[in-house]
Chain A
Amino acid sequence: MSYGAIPSSPPLTVMDVGFSRRCVPSTTAGSFYFRNIALAMPAMDFVWELAMKRMPWHIAVFLAPAVLLYSVFSALPLLDTLRLGFFTSNDAGQTSFVGLANYITILTDPAWSESFWNAMWNNCKFFLIHLLIQNPIGLILATLLSLKGLKGARHYRTLIFLPTLLSVVIIGFIWQLILSPLWGVSEGLLDKVGLVDYFAPWLGEEGSALITLALISVWQFVGIPMMLIYAALLAVPEDIVEAAHVEGASAWRIFWEIKLPLILPTLGLVTILTFVGNFNAFDLIYSVKGAIAGPNYSTDILGTLFYRTFFGYQSQIGSPTMGAAVATLMFLVILAGVGAYFYFVQRKLTRYEL
């Protein structure tokens, strides 16, 4: 059961961003150079024109695979989900248009809205824990790793990143065993350091289950922000740091006043990736707590709510149309979050030309 589009996508997306950012200036420079030659050498005019005429074909051919794949596997399903949310289906499986009825049910019918807002609030907590714990730890780890003369930095990097590569199902299973009050090692370990009184079946208690799951997820994915921030830190030019050093700035001050402002865009990116990932999350909760995300729905997030609604669970008969409405609401939440980020944060970030 790996519904995890999330674990694999962040690094890819990031690579994309990094790649195109580096690429843009070089292509512009290239064509500029090309045009200069064309201007300088009249004989080249013909070639230039020919190239210009052929250009649209090149573009079409090169764009085709991406456009095709993206529309077939991403854009069309998304549009179809949005469409499906306006329909309802009867016992015989026929669908009919109902306008906003599904959304009104989800947001106003107490049976639905209670579970929807519960899932939404849990999801916010899930995200906040990642934001406040995963990303700062990622930043600290990246800073430590980028320290000069740290022995075995490469090994640490690999080890910390390793859990990210494991299947969420395995992670869920392992942690369930570690934390098990029957055979888990955690109670024994706490006993050794005299903290055994603080041991509780964390995954089973209403107050702690969601936090525990969020921390497991943090443990697994902390490698991603670490790697991204580490890459950004490596990109901070040596000479600036050295100059500051010569001027007498302490390592502390160099971090806060030089490195941090330079990696702020990456931190923003990490935040937004965490946001999108968390509001799409599903697999860890499902593999540890099942689709009824217990105890008492305390670990229910939008992903598990969507799963129950769309596919059904036990006596709950799945409804693709209601499910599509829940999926659309999730899409809107993510869209609003990303939109707000771009409008209020990304636009105002100062970028330094290095």
Chain B
Amino acid sequence: MHNTLYKASVRAAITAALLAGSAAQAGTINIESWRVDDKTLWEDVLIPAFQKKNPGIQVKFTPTAPTEYDSSLTARLAGGTAGDLITCRPFDKSLDLFKKGQLEKLDGKPGMEYFPASAKVAWQTDDGKNTYCMPMASVMHGFFYNKKIFKDLNLKEPKTQAEFFAALETLKKAGKTPIALGTADQWESNQIVFTSIGANAWKGEEGRKALIAGKAKFTDPQFVAAWEQMAKWGPYMGKGASAQTYADSQNLFAMGKAGIYPAGSWDIAYFNQQGLDFGAFPPPVAKAGDKCYISDHTDIGMGINPKAKNKAEAYKFLAWLGSQEFADLYTNKVTGFFSLSNHLISVKDPVAKQMLDWRKSCGSTIRLNAQIMNRGEPAMENELWNVSSQVLNGKMAPKDAAAKIQTGFAKWHKPQQK
């Protein structure tokens, strides 16, 4: 394995050297990102818009595949060859970089004033004294449904869980796959399903903060309830869901073979491209009249590399990221990512607008384990992928899933050890 390890670092070094070479020309700033899908958009829309205001500054968007982003960025930062602007993951990943001195402190820098405190939390030290990334956008979770199928079967957007399961049953009888969801890639089980549908049960921020403060446990009914719902999904997930990948689920829904798709807002762009007629509804509540909660997750930010070669230009770019113009462009062009700024923006895409309107009636919360809870060993995010997938597959009982996560959490989180 040592040679594999070494190969990786040699490759990182070579890539870095190449990047450094291209960065040598004066005034070019490089942006590190995991948003490979948005490369054309940055090159054709966002960067030209910036250059119109700031002529002479060259900007290069150099994304790495999401699964490799964190490791290759770490290698490049350690080697001193990373780009000038660093796209930030929320919470601990970026906090870790800041602690190592690999991100600049941004408090008071131009552009930062346009963001509310709630948006900045994802990129602040625990005491709130240092902010190291500018919030860019959040993603929201809920369900998409195929409008044509719903119309044909005379179904309405389900508001309660009873209506939701009734709709699933109708879809199943009609020979459609009720839920387009698989567990081969595992991450959807947690990021799109568990922390999304569960928010109603644990009352969003209230439940999340209670876990961090040690006032609630994963084994409490409000958390087990989320897994209990998921355990009932199995029969509606279509044959062979255990080997179904995320791309399979997307295709299944895009082809009109499935009625409901548990979604992240970023999926809007993909299904629009496929020309699908679809709508969205938030996770159904337990009984009519309950307050709804949605997973409205601060997902993406932008920071500055302290060793940036063109720091002045990078700050100019960052100031532009805080502007009304960027917020508007990003929200409307990168459909499904919602600006976190205070600027007033009109959202043009109908489904995106529908999702954004949930904020008016539902309480927003971030992904359950995103803050602090991911910090220890065993890594909770990875554990949640595993147990949630098993619950969906009917291989693990909801209460066992809860017990496993709670044991791991209590192992290192002091407030949970009381």
Contact = CB atoms under 8 A, between A and B. Distances in A.
Interface of A: 1, 3, 5, 73-74, 77-78, 81, 91-93, 111, 176, 179-183, 200-206, 280, 282, 289-292, 294-297, 302-303, 306, 308, 310-318, 323, 326-327, 330-331
Contact of A318 (B1, B71, B251, B252): B71
Contacts of B248: 180, 182-183
A310 B100 contact: no
A119 to B, nearest CB: 12
Contact size class for B?
35 or more
B34 to A, nearest CB: 12
Nearest to B257: A182
Contact of A323 (B5, B6, B377): B5
Interface string B240-260: 111111001001100000000
B339 interface: no
A93 B242 CA distance: 39
B43 to A, nearest CB: 24
3 interchain residue pairs of minimum CB distance: A181-B240, A204-B242, A204-B243
A73 to B, nearest CB: 7
A290 B185 contact: yes
Contacts of B377: 111, 316
Interface stretch (B293-301, B310-318, B354-362, B387-395): B387-395
Interface string B80-119: 0000000000001100100111000000000000000000
B314 to A, nearest CB: 22
Contacts of A81: 2, 5
Nearest to B8: A3
A291 B251 CA distance: 23
Contact of A313 (B5, B382, B408): B382
B145 to A, nearest CB: 20
B11 to A, nearest CB: 9
Nearest to B3: A5
B243 A5 contact: no
B153 to A, nearest CB: 22
Interface string B45-88: 00000000000000000000001101100100010000000000
A78 B381 contact: no
Given A3-B4, A81-B5, A181 B100 contact: no
Contact of B240 (A91, A92, A182): A182
Contacts of B381: 314-316
B68 A91 contact: no
B243 A292 contact: no
Contact of B5 (A180, A200, A205, A310): A310
A78 B7 CA distance: 12
B214 interface: no
A203 B186 CA distance: 13
A306 B8 CA distance: 13
A204 B241 contact: yes
Nearest to B379: A316
Given A311-B71, A327-B5, A203 B243 contact: yes
Given A1-B68, A179-B243, A182-B240, A294 B379 contact: no
A210 B1 CA distance: 20
Given A91-B96, A290-B67, A316 B382 contact: yes
Given A92-B99, A312-B71, A292 B382 contact: yes
A168 B1 CA distance: 17
A18 B395 CA distance: 51
Contacts of B252: 182
Contact of B1 (A73, A92, A302): A302
14 contacts: A77-B3, A180-B248, A182-B240, A201-B242, A204-B240, A206-B395, A282-B1, A295-B389, A295-B395, A310-B5, A311-B71, A312-B74, A315-B369, A316-B381
Nearest to B376: A315
B374 interface: yes
A1 B68 CA distance: 9
B386 interface: yes
A129 B17 CA distance: 42
B122 to A, nearest CB: 14
Interface string B183-211: 11111000000000000000000000000
Contacts of B395: 206, 295-296
B215 interface: no
Given A111-B411, A204-B241, A316-B379, A292 B386 contact: yes
Interface string B202-244: 0000000000000000000000000000000000001111111
Given A78-B2, A296-B386, A203 B184 contact: yes
B276 interface: no
Contacts of A331: 1-2
A66 B393 CA distance: 53
Nearest to B380: A315
A262 B77 CA distance: 55
Nearest to A73: B6
B378 A295 contact: no
A278 to B, nearest CB: 12
A292 B101 CA distance: 29
A176 B244 CA distance: 9
B266 interface: no
Nearest to A74: B3
Contacts of A93: 78, 100
B242 A205 contact: yes
Contacts of A289: 184
Contacts of A200: 240
Given A92-B100, A182-B248, A291 B67 contact: yes
Nearest to A176: B245
Nearest to A323: B5
A201 B381 CA distance: 25
B165 interface: no
B88 to A, nearest CB: 15
A4 to B, nearest CB: 8
B311 to A, nearest CB: 21
B386 A297 contact: yes
Given A74-B3, A92-B100, A306-B1, 16 more contacts: A77-B2, A77-B6, A93-B100, A111-B377, A180-B244, A182-B244, A182-B251, A201-B242, A204-B243, A205-B242, A290-B67, A294-B385, A297-B386, A314-B187, A315-B381, A317-B93
Nearest to B185: A290
Interface string B405-416: 000100100000
Nearest to B4: A3
B31 to A, nearest CB: 22
Contacts of B100: 91-93
A295 B6 contact: no
B382 A201 contact: no
A5 B6 CA distance: 11
